[in-house]
């Protein structure tokens, strides 16, 4: 079996490397084609894989120019030309497109020409960029879904929101049986070094935020919410970690706003990004993890926090919402709403012992282990291959 991955986001996150590495262990031959946008050339060489399966490789393409950002059809045509010149399509059994509107469009065009089946994932960039900017392309986006063998969402809430709010009811009906929810897994040693002992909350309450300092992650609102709780007499220490995160980048204006808001707050620490091993230790010294991020396709860091028995605050109606009932491992808060974020933090504090007990009993490996996730994908590949 030879899988062609089309992954324009490869190198920006470890998600794809972790999946492809586990598939390699299962003996799957893989060609990873990476059509990089003009501003992402620095990703070349990131997240490399020492493939053990013969014939596997990663191919980077730098053919896309800055103007392709505005010329959707030209962008797809350019990437398609590149892939045909650099990949032997006759050897491919199945295409796995990592996004719908770009990678999926290339897979769709290859399917029309060569009959190669494909599966496609729907991501945040599809829903919040392409569907909103290229409104007139929606019928074409629907065709990509309808011709796919499988459509993958990485969270129940994203599937629910997409079907209800993004595509026509007629399309939703036709694709409903093709949809599967397969979450991202957790890499590193988080699952191998889980903390299963329930925690006891002490004073001061230690809250942590771990992400790039960018608009949409909810850091400014979180600072205000914690400040409001402190004003009510709740002692909280807050660490915000992730400034300068590689391959993600900070928003300079937003970072300046965060640093300005942090002035004079002795209870707030702004810290640079840390390696995964360091983050695991940070989480072990944390009582609550909070990141009311929107839009958010999934949020691996929520699972990393749970692996260390840390209750979590996440954004309502975003990627992680729906994996567990409200109040079971944490609470969803309305993104951007300081009062609601403060209220949900207070609820976690008030119900801390029960949540910690719940977390100690859940089996994260059954859902978020990359080896098991790779096996799920392999079954899909086998059922759909040419």
User: What value does the mean pLDDT take over residues 270-290?
Assistant: 93
Q: Give the dihedral sign, CA 361/367/369/375.
A: positive
**Is the peptide bond prior to 295 cis by the omega test (within 30 degrees of 0)?**
yes
Residue 248 has pLDDT above 70, yes or no: no
pLDDT band for position 228 (50/70/90)? very high
55: CB partners within 8 A, 6+ apart: 2, 29, 31
User: What value does the mean pLDDT take over residues 30-44?
Assistant: 88
Q: Which fold has domain 2-185+369-384?
A: Rossmann fold (3.40.50)
Distance CA 97, CA 313 (A): 31
User: What value does the mean pLDDT take over residues 172-176?
Assistant: 96
Helix, strand or coil, per DSSP, at residue 231: helix
17: CB partners within 8 A, 6+ apart: 10, 47, 48, 49
Whole-structure pTM value: 0.87
Distance CA 170, CA 302 (A): 34
Q: Is 216 left (phi over 0), alpha (psi -120 to 50) or beta?
A: left
Q: Which CATH number applies to 205-363?
A: 3.40.50.2000
pLDDT tens sequence across 60-84? 998 889 898 899 999 999 999 999 9
Distance CA 300, CA 282 (A): 16
Alpha helices in 311-350 (DSSP H): 338-350
Q: Is 221 left (phi over 0), alpha (psi -120 to 50) or beta?
A: alpha
* Burial label, 63 (beta-carbon count in 10 A; 0-12, 13-18, 19+): middle
- The whole-number pLDDT of residue 12 equals 76
Backbone angles phi, psi at 259, to 5 degrees: -65, -35
Residue 44 has pLDDT above 90, yes or no: no
Q: What is the CA radius of gyration of the chain?
A: 21
Residue 48 has pLDDT above 90, yes or no: no
pLDDT tens sequence across 105-154? 999 999 999 999 999 999 988 998 999 999 999 999 999 999 999 999 99
pLDDT band for position 386 (50/70/90)? low
- The whole-number pLDDT of residue 201 equals 94
Instruction: State the chain's mean pLDDT as an integer.
Output: 93
User: Cα 299–168–166 angle (5° rounding)?
Assistant: 25
- Cα→Cα distances 240→9, 14, 59, 305, 337, Å: 26, 21, 36, 14, 19
Which residues of the chain form CATH 3.40.50.2000? 2-185+369-384, 205-363
Contact 329, 353 (CB under 8 A): no
Mean pLDDT is lowest, of 245-249, 277-281, 333-337, 366-370, for: 245-249
Written as six digits, the tokens of 107 are 């897979």
């Amino acid at each position: 079996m030879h899988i062609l991955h089309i992954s324009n986001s490869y190198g920006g996150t470890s998600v794809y490397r972790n999946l492809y590495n586990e598939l390699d262990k299962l003996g799957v031959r893989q060609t990873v084609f990476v059509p990089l946008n003009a501003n992402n050339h620095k990703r070349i060489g990131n997240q490399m894989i020492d493939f053990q399966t013969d014939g596997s490789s990663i191919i980077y393409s730098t053919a896309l120019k800055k103007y392709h950002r505005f010329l959707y059809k030209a962008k797809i045509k350019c990437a398609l030309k590149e892939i045909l010149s650099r990949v032997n399509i006759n050897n491919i059994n199945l295409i796995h497109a990592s996004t719908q509107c770009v990678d999926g469009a290339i897979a769709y065009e290859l399917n029309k020409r060569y009959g190669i089946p494909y599966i496609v994932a729907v991501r945040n960039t599809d829903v919040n960029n392409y569907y909103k900017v290229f409104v007139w392309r929606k019928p074409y986006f629907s065709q990509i879904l309808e011709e796919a063998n499988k459509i993958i969402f990485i969270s129940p809430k994203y599937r629910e929101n997409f079907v209800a709010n993004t595509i026509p009811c007629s399309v939703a009906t036709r694709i409903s049986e093709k949809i599967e929810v397969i979450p991202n897994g957790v890499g590193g040693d988080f699952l191998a070094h889980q903390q299963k002992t329930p925690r006891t909350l002490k004073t001061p309450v230690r809250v942590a935020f771990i992400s790039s300092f960018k608009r949409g992650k909810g850091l400014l609102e979180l600072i205000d919410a914690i400040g409001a709780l402190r004003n009510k007499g709740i002692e909280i220490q807050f660490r915000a970690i992730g400034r300068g995160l590689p391959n993600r980048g900070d928003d300079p204006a937003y970072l300046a706003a965060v640093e300005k808001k942090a002035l004079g707050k002795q209870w707030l620490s702004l810290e640079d990004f840390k390696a995964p091993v360091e983050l695991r230790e940070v989480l072990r010294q944390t009582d609550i993890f909070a990141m009311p991020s929107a839009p958010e396709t999934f949020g691996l860091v929520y699972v990393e926090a749970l692996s260390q028995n840390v209750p979590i605050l996440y954004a309502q109606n975003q990627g992680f919402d729906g994996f567990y009932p409200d109040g079971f491992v944490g609470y969803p808060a309305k993104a951007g709403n300081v009062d609601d974020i403060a209220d949900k933090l207070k609820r976690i504090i008030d119900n801390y012992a029960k949540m910690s007990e719940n977390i100690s009993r859940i089996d994260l490996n059954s859902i978020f282990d990359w080896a098991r996730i790779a096996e799920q994908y392999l079954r899909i590949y086998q059922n759909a291959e040419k």
